[in-house]
């Protein structure tokens, strides 16, 4: 079977969806039963066995399928469409494609759907939430890409039942009979790979981990809360892991300006890019993990925090409520409500017993629900769904 894999294209970015795509590639590649052809903007920072020789790099591809925090011109999107179509044409010419797997409803999924429709190749889209919750709402072009894609594809993979309900409504509006499967993105085992008991490592800090610094990550909400927290706990540190993926770094500039305005520079550490192993080390030593994102997209790092039993405070979104029960294995607050966030964080800093309750709640959650998010189970489900769709489209 020859599979075309169209992930979120900037593989060096290491977002949750890219981690998911690399897991899928590895599972297919190691099986030695299938050929996988990948289209990407670049390669991961850490080599993945077999990936480079099976990947076509093209700088015309938009780095992320759904970009709404900066201007992406019609020309850029058109060039990305052309590059995708050309890649599929060449891959199909080399060896007949059996199935096309694409991440996110986007201009990329539209190119894949049109190609698949022309040559009777089934297409499956993984909708992680950013496409449905943000792109579809904020940009009418993405709305058109999504609606047009929906009419031509055969399957959709959703991370949870909430996204499934939205995708189901989308398919119904567009008269699509595509099948839907709910398969949550699995935990990335690399977060456990370098966790040590290094006594020199910093400890007992507040932690926010972000794949980007766009406004929907809620970093400014955390900083505003911190300005209140330091009045009670003046020595507390907030580690903000990640970086601004925009070339001119407008989000980092905005964040630094707010830090200066709030006079909390001595309490904030901007780590820059962190590897997956470093994410694990940060979670292991954190006092409290904070996720303040404003949209209900699936959060892989929220999942990882639970696996590390880290006391968690996060926004009350459709996705977070699938993992966190308020005051059981975390504390939920309304998006943007920094006074509520500050209150919850101060309470946890000063109340070790409550931190222990949340940590034990995370342990219980891991024991009861965690296996559902392991790589082996998730990859088996994804591969099974792909084969099912392929078998139905003959």
Supply the Cα-derived Rg of the chain in whole angstroms: 21
Domains and their CATH numbers in the chain: 2-186+374-392 (3.40.50.2000), 189-371 (3.40.50.2000)
Q: What is the mean pLDDT of the chain?
A: 92
- The pLDDT of residue 68 is 80
pLDDT tens digit sequence for 223-279: 999 999 999 999 999 999 988 877 788 889 999 999 999 999 999 999 998 888 889
- The pLDDT of residue 187 is 86
pLDDT confidence bin for 197, thresholds 50/70/90: low
pLDDT at 85 over 80: yes
pLDDT more than 90, % of the chain:
70
- The pLDDT of residue 195 is 63
Helix-strand-coil split of the chain, %, nearest 5: 50, 15, 35
pLDDT at 320 over 70: yes
Give 103's strand partners: 126
- Of 108, 55, 117, 56, residue with least CA distance to 84: 108
Mean local confidence (pLDDT), 118-134: 94
Mean local confidence (pLDDT), 160-175: 95
pLDDT tens digit sequence for 25-80: 998 877 777 899 999 999 998 899 999 999 999 999 999 889 887 889 999 999 99
pLDDT at 213 over 80: yes
Sign of CA dihedral 78, 390, 8, 83: negative
Rounded to two decimals, the pTM is 0.84
pLDDT at 211 over 90: no
């Amino acid at each position: 079977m020859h599979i075309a894999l169209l992930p979120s294209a900037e593989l060096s970015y290491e977002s949750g969806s890219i981690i998911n795509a690399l897991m899928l590639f590895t599972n297919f590649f190691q099986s030695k039963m299938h050929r996988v052809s990948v289209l990407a903007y670049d390669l991961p920072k850490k080599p993945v066995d077999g990936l480079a020789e099976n990947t076509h790099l093209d700088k015309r591809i938009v780095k992320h399928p759904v970009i709404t925090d900066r201007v992406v011109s019609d020309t850029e999107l058109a060039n990305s469409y052309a590059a995708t179509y050309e890649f599929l044409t060449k891959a199909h010419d080399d060896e007949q494609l059996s199935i096309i797997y694409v991440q996110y409803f986007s201009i990329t999924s539209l190119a894949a759907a049109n190609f698949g429709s022309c040559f009777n190749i089934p297409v499956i889209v993984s909708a992680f939430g950013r496409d449905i919750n943000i792109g579809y709402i904020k940009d009418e072009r993405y709305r058109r890409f999504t609606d047009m894609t929906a009419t031509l594809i055969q399957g959709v993979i959703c991370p949870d039942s909430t996204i499934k309900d939205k995708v189901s409504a989308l398919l119904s509006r567009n008269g699509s009979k595509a099948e839907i499967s709910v398969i949550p993105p699995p935990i990335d085992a690399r977060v456990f790979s370098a966790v040590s008991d290094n006594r020199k490592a910093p400890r007992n800090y507040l932690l926010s981990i972000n794949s980007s610094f766009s406004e929907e990550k809620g970093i400014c909400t955390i900083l505003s809360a911190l300005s209140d927290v330091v009045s009670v706990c003046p020595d507390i540190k907030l580690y903000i892991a990640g970086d601004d993926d925009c070339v001119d770094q407008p989000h980092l500039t905005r964040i630094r300006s707010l830090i200066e305005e709030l006079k909390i520079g001595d309490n904030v550490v901007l780590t820059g890019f962190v590897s997956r192993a470093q994410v694990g080390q940060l979670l292991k030593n954190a006092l409290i993990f904070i996720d303040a994102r404003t949209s209900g997209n699936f959060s892989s790092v929220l999942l990882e925090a639970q696996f590390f039993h880290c006391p968690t405070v996060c926004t009350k979104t459709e996705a977070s409520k699938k993992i966190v029960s308020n005051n059981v294995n975390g504390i939920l607050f309304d998006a943007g409500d920094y006074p509520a966030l500050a209150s919850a964080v101060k309470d946890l800093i000063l109340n070790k017993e409550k931190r222990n309750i949340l940590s034990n709640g995370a342990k219980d959650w891991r024991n009861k629900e965690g296996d559902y998010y392991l790589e082996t189970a998730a990859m088996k489900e994804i591969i099974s769904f792909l084969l099912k769709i392929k078998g139905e489209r003959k």
